[in-house]
Structure 1
Amino acid sequence: MGLFDFFGGSGPEKALKLKPKVTQKYGDPSTRQKAIQQLGEMKYPEAVSVLLSRFTLTVEPLTTDADEKEHVFELIKGFDQDAIAPIQEFLRKSDHATSWALRLLGDLLPEPAVIGICVDTLTHLSSHYTRDPEKKVVLLHHVMGKEDPRIPTAVLPFLEDMSDDVKIAALKVLGPLKYEAAREPILKLLTSEETARRVQTAALAALQESGFNVQGFREKLEPLLVEPYLLDKSGVVVKRQA
């Protein structure tokens, strides 16, 4: 322990005390930038947590904002594996800057580990109310197109989310996965009177990609078909040939 650590000059407490400066939106930017640099030179998890808070605000001019965020990104990467736990905590607790957190994890961890964190976070979000749907959408977009058995069970609950954007993102994830347990929930969402038209269109696309039969829902579904979708003789949604 150094002399400054002993007197509380550069320990975890010092890192936490720098947060107001790091998140200072107005005033002299050099104050914020100096605090960022100080945090980058510390080796405490608390320093990573405070640095992450910089991603939650936008400052003017936007060129300065972008430069600072890239600098913060590189500083956090410098913590290497010590940054993982603070990033995970940030991802779970903050409704902002999800894409930055995922980008950092992508540079620090192998893809299966990142998918695992996304799945854990989505599972947590599916049982907790959040006012802003952006975080869910960003996480869903991140797992889109990925082949991992953990994904469909974590995504399925979002077909019942209050946000149409979240429902559409979930449908785009589930369609190509051909997850049998999603067949009926997708069909119920599509045929519900409360479902918005753009969500219905996304549900048709998901059914077409999945190849699921519409048995039990054909009568309700047929009036909802729009170009280029139609039902074939076997009761599967297909795209009309051009």
Structure 2
Amino acid sequence: MGLLDIFTGGSGPEKALKLKPKVTQKYGDPATRQKAIQQLGEMKYPEAVSVLLARFTITVDPLTTDADEKEHTFELVKAFGKDAVPPIVEFLSKTEPATSWALRLLGELVTEDEVTEACVKALQHLSSTYTKNPEKKVVLLHHVTGRQDARIPPVVVPFLADMSDDVKIAALKALASFKYEPAREPMLALLTADETARRVQTSALSALADSGFSVGEQRARVESLLVEPYVLDKDGRIQRRA
């Protein structure tokens, strides 16, 4: 810290970090929070981006103010350009709330391939980490659904065993467009398990139909679980009735 920093309250990065309590202040005068957000937007340090991202993790009243502030914060972060990417990727990896905001920002700043890479890494981390709220997993799984990228199926399969039904369904939808053989047995196991909820079973039937996998020796068990419009063909593949 230089002599000037002593009189100005610290270096630029330190100033940015000191503003975090104001940025995440839910109550009191909103002008205090809004001034801090604007100050951070005028800084050119990665720490400023990290603190700005924290604004997405809280919700304030009224909701119109909350929405306006978040959109303003979004534009400020986007203005950092490529310098904002590492803090956003770190935020995506380590923070449970506001995943959709992080993905939206990355979508503005990097290629689709790089966004997918960030999602894959975040999913890898989540598959081995306990989280109370399934929302982040669901948002990430929805984001990779429909993308034809070989990196996706291996990191999605573990979520078929997640405790949350919403996560299981999101994982099934993400896997449906792939003919990823290692997913076949876990998908069948999920479909045929006694404890699997009916809505999850229906999603599993849909995913297996899209994947084109044979049910193999599970034919009798799968037949007992079929609901409209699903049928088994002679090769043991789930089809949708025409």
TM tier relative to shorter chain:
over 0.9
Instruction: Name the amino acid aligned to 1:75.
Output: L
Distance 2:53 2:91 in 1: 7
Corresponding residue for 1:83?
Answer: 84
In the TM superposition, what are the counterparts of 1:126-205 in structure 2 within 5 Å?
Answer: 126-205=127-206
Would you say the 8 A contact 1:10–1:42 is kept in 2?
no
Distance 1:5 1:111 in 2: 41
Deviations 1:159-182 (A, max 9, x none): 011111000000001011111111
Residue 2 of structure 1: CA displacement?
9.2
Distance 2:237 2:32 in 1: 62
> SS in structure 2 opposite 1:230?
strand
1:94 and 2:95 matched: yes
Instruction: Name the amino acid aligned to 1:202.
Output: S
Distance 1:2 1:77 in 2: 30
Residue 9 of structure 1: CA displacement?
4.5
Instruction: Name the amino acid aligned to 2:141.
Output: L
Distance 1:6 1:180 in 2: 62
Where do 4+ consecutive residues of structure 1 move more than 3 Å? 1-10
Would you say the 8 A contact 1:141–1:169 is kept in 2?
yes
Q: How many residues align?
A: 241
Pair 57,4 (structure 1): closer, same or farther in 2 beyond 3 Å: farther
> SS in structure 2 opposite 1:59?
coil
Corresponding residue for 1:46?
Answer: 47
Pair 52,4 (structure 1): closer, same or farther in 2 beyond 3 Å: farther
RMSD after superposition: 1.4
Instruction: Name the amino acid aligned to 1:186.
Output: M
Distance 1:64 1:2 in 2: 38
Instruction: Name the amino acid aligned to 1:15.
Output: A
Residue 5 of structure 1: CA displacement?
4.5
Corresponding residue for 1:70?
Answer: 71
Unaligned regions of 5+ residues in structure 2, if any? none
Instruction: Name the amino acid aligned to 1:121.
Output: A
TM-score by length of 1: 0.96
Corresponding residue for 2:35?
Answer: 34
Corresponding residue for 1:118?
Answer: 119
Instruction: Name the amino acid aligned to 1:177.
Output: F
TM-score by length of 2: 0.96
Distance 2:223 2:4 in 1: 73
Deviations 1:170-209 (A, max 9, x none): 0001011111111111001100011111100000000111
> SS in structure 2 opposite 1:238?
strand
Q: Percent identity, aligned pairs only?
A: 72
Pair 79,3 (structure 1): closer, same or farther in 2 beyond 3 Å: farther
Would you say the 8 A contact 1:122–1:155 is kept in 2?
yes
Deviations 1:193-237 (A, max 9, x none): 111111000000001111111102111111100011111111110
Residue 94 of structure 1: CA displacement?
0.8
Would you say the 8 A contact 1:175–1:207 is kept in 2?
yes
Corresponding residue for 2:106?
Answer: 105
Distance 2:15 2:68 in 1: 24
Deviations 1:83-119 (A, max 9, x none): 1111111111111000000000010000001100100
